[in-house]
Structure 1
Amino acid sequence: MTFSPDPVRFDEARPLALTAAVDIAASGVDVLMVRDILGRLSLLLDDRLAAVDAAKVEAWRERLISTLGRYAADRPLLLASKLFQPDAYFASPRAADEHGYVAGSGQGTIRWLDNTVVGGDWARVSTPRADPDGVRTARTALYGFKGGVGRSTATFMLAKHLAGQGNCVLVIDLDLESPGSGPLLVAEEQLPQYGIIDQLVESALDNDEGLDLVTQATHFQLQNNGELWVAPARGRGAPHATYAYIDKLNRVYADVPGKGQGSFADRLEAAVQACEEAVARESRRPDVVLLDSRAGIHDIAAIAISRLCDLALLFGSDNGQTWAGYGELFKAWLSSGQAPEIREKLRMVASMVPDADRPGYLEAFRDHAWESFSILYDDLLDGETGFNPSPEDDSAPHSPIPILFALELVGIDAVSTPGWDDWAFVRAAYDSFLKTATKLMIEGPR
């Protein structure tokens, strides 16, 4: 096998394979593009209804080998009739229609199946939220591409605000590597016996029945018949047993072969539902669920945003790292065809806004946000209709909800500083955020 002097790199391989797939589909054959965990590509041709000329098959195979170089799989072209279980590929729920390709008359379809170790849920078409008992609880995910933007503190403030209005609120701390909102809301000695991490580990073995997962918040008094429940990332553990958090963390993300609800995404969704049901058994069904997601490009955040929530609050500061990071996520949603389902439930939060230059900062933030978000919006010609809000649209996903910067909160130990959340400057810093987020959660995103 020989390759060209200029080797094909990862970013070039998929477009080259797609070009070949389009030419093959033009002959009337359905094509499934498959990428393995190393990035190598294969084209699977569905020849079960129509025979494919053997000479063409060999020519297509040679073309893939010569054009893809080391990104050609060991068997770069396969026929469905030669596979043991072809529908394991062609009918896979993870396969999606190739974005931007529309089959013409007499042409075959092209679908895409990407195999990844982590991160696949960013580019996986979202599935409708499941509501087993027919009662829908409003869920909001709070996410930041980078850490240190005040997401967990905002979760704390929003949870208290909503409960103070008489709602039954459940906060689920999904930041497993660095639990945030759980410690802010519940004293160590009041933790439930088990946490989200236990639910994920035990459910892989069908051993999750009867776990003690939720507890009421302990750090403040609520009014107006509101309730605030917490499902922390970790629990306090069983008596006379060491709570092996790191050992559990090393196992939670694995899919479980042969199990009906074995994927990590399925188990995470089941864990959220289990927490909601636990609150319902103790009191009443939550009116609102806040999912405190972890930062970064991580499967937990991908699942929380694309699959579990009705509203996603995206936190960030106005800097190049923020917009480069969100730009990569938006490109993944666009390429997978998720943009129409995802974009209208997103809303940007401008965290740590300097009060001295609030108007100028927010205007620059909005403009940069619009530049990033516009990749998710429709390209419209004159007279066409679609989803393409203007930069000045205050209700658009890119329009920032501000949280003012409070220097006094830097480095504060919130757990050992009772009443900090009622300080006047703290209430002023979060006022706009709490009002706008509450309205979005009650009325729903745009």
Structure 2
Amino acid sequence: MSTFDQILPITHEILAAHHSKIAQLDWLIVNRDLNGRVRFIVPEPIKKDEARRGEVEAVYQMLAEQLGPHCYPPEAGILYEANSEFARQGTTHYVLGEFDRVWFVDRLATESNWACITPETRGATRVVFFSIKGGVGRSTALAASAWSLAQSGKRVLVLDLDLESPGLSSALLPPERQPKYGITDWLVEDLVGNAEVVLGNMVATSNLSHDGEIHVVPAHGIEHGEYIAKLGRVWMPKLKEDGTREKWSARLERLLQSLEARICPDIILIDSRSGIDEIASACIADIGANLILLFALEGEQTWNGYRMLFEQWLRAGVTQKVRERLQVVGAVVPDFNSVDYLVGLREHSYEVFSDTLYDNIEPAAPDTVGPTKPGDPKTWRVGTLVEGWNFDEADERGPHHPWAVNWHRSFAGLRSLQGRLAVIDAQEVQAVFGSLIDGISCAVEARQTL
């Protein structure tokens, strides 16, 4: 009996065995619904063409026999549509194998997905702080990065999009500066066309900045109200007056654009939800991130998680759209035996990148790569390799090569990170977060010179 994981390979095997028949179709959609059951969607004219309809039905019959409960019965297994784009709208979808007109479509519980990667934004640099698991010091690193960037004169916008585990705002704002509303309020009010009411009261300025500014948008306001009830609605698509649906990540993008227009930041730092579910994908795939920081602890849980994510991108054929924006961050690197720890982290990171995202070629010779000055746009992620996109394991320019965030007792178990940042100096921040902050700064400078 087949299982869910066998749906794709069995489907590909059966279609490949009947390649000549499938190639005659203008297009074919293999549709997997919310319950994991498969059916075909084919062009409407096939329904009236008895011979071609019989061929499609025969192929589907074989598929149904192989997939068993993961297929609809043959009499209900084929749908007819006039337009393939309409049938794929709002779904995770990708071309299946070598078939350039066969689409595999996944219907998911949310309308966000990892396979649809939006182009990089052309506005302020958007940096996403992401991790497979929580508890890796991600929010602390973001707060320290915001502090340092502001000290250098940057206008920084910080968003707490870890909505199910909010708290970043408390690291940058004292209680008396917390705004009235937050992101959850805006997303809920937007569903009923009332978002403008909260927009002007959901941003607060941190007291930690000196030469620059830190503008903070929390997950919720000073009074959280019915937060759980609101949280259950933020992921909802918005039904517009013309009957179309706007998925929640598109609504989030509208919020970002509104905030960017109001604040005019130099850089936007976004604290993402942890995990690899479809809701977490919005921050990585749907909002035009320019730099995606992948926080990692050395261990199987970390690398198994990132491997699953990278393999999903590989299957969907979108690796080239996202890989150049990625960067691994070595989270809370221990102060004991740190060199060996980072070597192990780099080795496992390289293994995952090499198996999934890197092109299967040898890296270009050093003398053909060009300048290697840190932050040079010619050497930062794009256009540096002659034959493809690949890096040696020891190449510090590779996204697999971790930017280290060092463990330090002064940041461990703090009750008030805001209080700690209020009295810290630049030297202390550099000692703990220097590699991360320098990398972010170089990325911002590189984009500004393009």
With normalisation by structure 2, the TM-score equals 0.85
Structure 2 unpaired stretches of 5+ = 365-385
Does residue 193 (structure 1) correspond to residue 180 (structure 2)? The answer is yes
Distance 2:349 2:434 in 1: 22
**Matched length:** 416
Query: After superposition, where does 1:54-73 map in structure 2 within 5 Å?
Result: 54-73=53-72
Q: Could you tell me how far apart the structure 2 residues matched to 1:102 and 1:63 are? A: 19
Report the Cα distance in structure 2 between the residues aligned to 1:120 and 1:17, rounded to whole angstroms. 25
Residue identity matched to 2:196:
E
Relative to structure 1, the CA distance from residue 198 to residue 129 in structure 2 (aligned partners, 3 Å threshold; closer, same or farther) is farther
Q: 1:267 aligns with which of 242, 245, 251?
A: 251
Match of 2:34 among 10, 22, 37: 37
Identify which range, 200-209 or 270-279, moves more after superposition: 270-279
Distance 1:143 1:58, change over 3 A: closer
* 1:15-414 matches, cutoff 5 A: 15-27=9-21, 28-29=24-25, 30-46=27-43, 48=45, 51=49, 52-74=51-73, 77-80=77-80, 83=81, 86-87=83-84, 89-90=86-87, 92=89, 94=91, 96-103=93-100, 109-118=101-110, 121-122=113-114, 124-129=115-120, 136-211=123-198, 212-223=200-211, 226-236=212-222, 243-257=225-239, 260=244, 262-279=246-263, 285-308=264-287, 309-374=289-354, 375-380=356-361, 385-413=387-415, 414=417
Mapped partners of 1:125, 1:418: distance in 2? 38
2:260 and 2:247 map into 1 onto residues whose CA distance is 20
> Letter of the aligned partner of 1:377 in structure 2?
Y
Name the CA distance, whole Å, in 2 between partners of 1:24 and 1:12: 19
Q: CA deviation at 1:407?
A: 2.6
Shift of 1:63: 1.1
Deviations 1:2-58 (A, max 9, x none): xxxxx1101012221222334455321121111001111112222538945343233
Distance apart, 1:261 and its partner CA: 5.5
State the shift of 1:97 in Å. 3.6
Whole-Å separation in 1 of the counterparts to 2:318 and 2:306 = 15
Aligned 8 A contact 2:155 2:267 in 1:
yes
Q: Contact 2:363–2:391 at 8 Å: present in 1 too?
A: no
Q: Which amino acid aligns with 1:10?
A: F
- Structure 1 regions of 5+ residues with no counterpart? 1-6, 104-108, 280-284
1:99-146 CA-partner distances (Å, limit 9, x unpaired): 54244xxxxx11121101148512x22122566xxxx11110011111
Distance 1:162 1:214, change over 3 A: farther
Whole-Å separation in 2 of the counterparts to 1:299 and 1:274:
24
8 Å CA contact 1:255–1:264 kept in 2: the answer is yes
Change over 3 Å in CA distance of 1:130–1:392 after alignment to 2 = closer
TM-score (norm 1): 0.85
CA–CA distance in structure 1, aligned partners of residues 72 and 423 of structure 2:
58
CA distance in 1: counterparts of 2:218 and 2:302, whole angstroms: 27
CA distance in 2, matches of 1:210, 1:415: 29
CA separation of 1:184 and 1:196: change in aligned 2, threshold 3 A: same
What root-mean-square deviation, in Å, do the aligned CA atoms of Structure 1 and Structure 2 show? 2.7
Cα offsets for 1:360-380 (capped at 9, x unmatched): 211111110011112111123
Could you tell me how far 1:197 is from its partner in structure 2? 0.6
Contact persistence 2:206–2:214 (CA under 8 A): no
Counterpart amino acid of residue 20 in structure 1: I
Structure 1: distance between partners of 2:333 and 2:362: 36
